[in-house]
Amino acid sequence: MSSAFYKKNTRFYLALLIPAFCLYCLALIGPLFFGTVPSSFYDWNIIKAKRNFTGFENFAELIHDKQFLTSLFFTLKLGVVTVTLNNIIAFAISYFLNENVFAKGFTRSMFFMPNTIGGIMVAFIWCFLFTNVLPKIFSAAGLESMASISWFGSGSMAFITIVAAAVWTGSGFLMVLYLAGLQNISADILEAGEIDGCTGFKKVILLQLPLLMPTITINLFVSIAGAFKSFDIPYAMTGGGPAGVTNTIALNIYKDAFSTYNMGYACAKSVVLFFIVMAITCIQLRFTRKKEVQL
C-alpha cells in the first residue's frame, strides 16, 4: 500500500474504527474508569454496604499482602514459561507445517483444535490425564517412581500441570498466525538467500525470523496479556491449591471480590494488574517493533 494512498483515505479508515471503538468504550473503558478505578480508593465490602473513602490505603496494604505477592510471583513465573513455550512450540509446528508435510490441512487442524475447547474442559481433560491415565501408563511400563508422582500434591508439580494444559491449548492459535506470517514471506527472498548459501538453520535465523517480526510482535502481545489474565485453567485444575500456591492474580482478585466480598481491595488489585500488564506490553512492543524489518 503506498503511503500517499493511505494518507488520502486516513479519515475513512478512522471512520471504520468508530463502531468497534464505541462498543469498546461502553463495555470496557466505561466500567474500568468509572467503576474499577474509583472503587479502588474505597474500603468497600459488598455485604456490609459501606463505602468509606480511604485514599491509597488499599494500595499500601497490597505491598504487605503475602497472598497477593505470592500470586503475583506465580503469575510472572507462569507468564514467562507459557509465553516462551507457547511461542517456540507454535513456531516450530508452523515451520514444519509450512513445508510440504503429509496431510497438511488435517495436521494443521489437529494442532489448532485444542484452541477451540473451553478452558474448563481443557482443565478437566488434563486433570484426568494426570490423575488417571499417566499413573497407569507409567506403572504398566514398570516405572513405579514415575507412577507415584503426586501431580497436585506440591506447588512445583501443580505448576507443571497448569503449564502443560496452557501450552496445549494456547499454542494452536499462535501457530496459525506464525503460519500465515511464514506464507507471506516472498519466495524470491528465500530463493535469493539460498543461492547465496543461506540454508537450513541459518535461513531460519537470518531470513525467516527477522521477516516474521510483525507476527512475533502480535503473538507475544497476545500471549503475554493472556498469561497475565489466566484464570480458567488454574481455577479448574488446582483451584489455586495446594494451599494457595498456584493462585494467579486473576484468581486472587476473584476470591477477594466474591468470596470475602472485599470489592474495594479487589479493584485496587485489578488496577495494579492493569498497570503491570500495560508496562510489560509497552516495553515488549517497543522492543519488537524496533526489530521489524521494512522491505
Query: Under the rule (CB under 8 A), what is the footprint of another protein?
Result: 24, 27-32, 34-36, 38-39, 44, 46-51, 67, 130-131, 135, 148-155, 221, 225-226, 228-229, 231, 238-245, 250, 253-255, 257-263, 266-267, 270-271, 273-274, 277-278, 281-282, 285, 289
Surface-to-core class of residue 276, CB atoms within 10 Å of its CB (0-12 exposed, 13-18 middle, 19+ buried): middle
CB closer to another protein, 79 vs 207: 79
Q: How far apart are CA 285 and CA 251, in angstroms?
A: 27
CB closer to another protein, 56 vs 287: 287
Nearest approach, Cβ of residue 178 and another protein (Å): 20
Nearest approach, Cβ of residue 170 and another protein (Å): 14
Nearest approach, Cβ of residue 95 and another protein (Å): 27
CB closer to another protein, 131 vs 186: 131
Question: What are the CB-based long-range contacts (under 8 Å, 24+) for 44-48?
Answer: 44/262, 44/263, 44/264, 44/267, 45/261, 45/262, 45/263, 45/264, 46/261, 46/263, 47/261, 48/261
CB closer to another protein, 60 vs 243: 243
Q: How far apart are CA 39 and CA 253, in angstroms?
A: 14
Triad 99, 102, 103: Cα angle to 5°: 110
Q: How far apart are CA 256 and CA 45, in angstroms?
A: 10
Nearest approach, Cβ of residue 259 and another protein (Å): 5
Closest Cα to residue 65, out of 242, 274, 275, 256?
A: 256
CB closer to another protein, 107 vs 281: 281
DSSP code, position 254: H
CB 171 within 8 A of CB 86: yes
CB closer to another protein, 3 vs 100: 3
Which amino acid makes up residue 284? Q
Three-class DSSP category at 240:
coil
CB 267 within 8 A of CB 36: yes
CB 228 within 8 A of CB 211: no
CB closer to another protein, 24 vs 56: 24
Nearest approach, Cβ of residue 268 and another protein (Å): 10
Nearest approach, Cβ of residue 98 and another protein (Å): 28
Nearest approach, Cβ of residue 65 and another protein (Å): 10
Q: How far apart are CA 274 and CA 23, in angstroms?
A: 20
Quote the cell numbers at residue 80: 514467562
CB closer to another protein, 208 vs 219: 219
Nearest approach, Cβ of residue 115 and another protein (Å): 17
